Structure 1
């Protein structure tokens, strides 16, 4: 079966976002590539050369990846069409992840026990990314 990994686009703050995500989830950067180190990017704006061309962070069994959007690509826009869903292994981990991601962001649904038998909450982090944090009391 194919594996799906998440790839996020940012408007020049990928490095800050991924350092934040690393502080939340731990893990290690698999790779960090800057535009200045890539062939064919010599003609880019000087301000864009130090931006992140590609970053990958190992999170559990998944990989969270990202890039900075540069000219002439249109800027990244954030909306409610996508949320990243995190399944924690314990209540404690769920609270830690939720509270860390919520720092500087906006909580849209408080992390609490639900009628469907899970601890669940939703938020938008300080980088505009929507998250759902879940801990199932019973494995399905």
Structure 2
């Protein structure tokens, strides 16, 4: 099996709601299991999400869970989830859905490097960046070097 790297988000009793929101935004297949399904009995965590996974048709994987009783959630994270590509309609659709009820910190707009780029924090406190590749000459500022177009 190949290795993968994907975001794993932690929530205080809102993992189900958040993952349903992301499922609506991105589509795909969502699976969720509670602590109760894995033997938590009738304890305070029985209905909390122990593990949720969203796998989208676009190839994204997003995972999440609720923080169990007695553990603290670290809300001071410096992680931002970034989505980029060249399908402008698809990416604008994600932007519109993710920003619903959230806070736009930088509007999705044309940038000096030629791409459309914006930043937001969704209604669950997750930070997102969206970058839509511009026409010829636009480069992702986070890319390591450019690629020859081969033209």
Task: State the TM-score, normalized to the length of structure 2.
Answer: 0.82
**Are the counterparts in 1 of residues 99 and 120 from structure 2 also a CA contact under 8 Å?**
yes
SS at 1:23 equivalent:
helix
Structure 1 or 2: more helix by fraction? 1
Q: Residues 1-12 of structure 1: matches in 2 within 5 Å?
A: 2-12=3-13
Is there any run of 5+ residues in structure 2 with no aligned partner, and where? Answer: 140-146
1:51-94, CA deviations, whole angstroms, 9 ceiling, x for partnerless residues?
A: 11101001322310000012111134144x11000114422222
Cα-Cα RMSD: 1.7
Q: Residues 109-120 of structure 1: matches in 2 within 5 Å?
A: 109-120=106-117
**4+ residue runs over 6 A deviation:** none
Instruction: Report the counterpart of residue 52 of structure 1 in structure 2.
Output: 49
Q: Residues 10-89 of structure 1: matches in 2 within 5 Å?
A: 10-29=11-30, 31-39=31-39, 41-42=40-41, 44-45=43-44, 48-59=45-56, 60-79=58-77, 81-89=78-86
Corresponding residue pairs, total: 135
Deviation at 1:16?
0.4
Q: Using CA pairs under 8 Å that are at least 6 residues apart, name the structure with larger relative contact order, 1 or 2.
A: 1
Task: State the TM-score, normalized to the length of structure 1.
Answer: 0.88
C-alpha separation between the residues in 2 aligned to 1:126 and 1:22? 14
Structure 1 or 2: more strand by fraction? 1
**Are the counterparts in 2 of residues 88 and 134 from structure 1 also a CA contact under 8 Å?**
yes
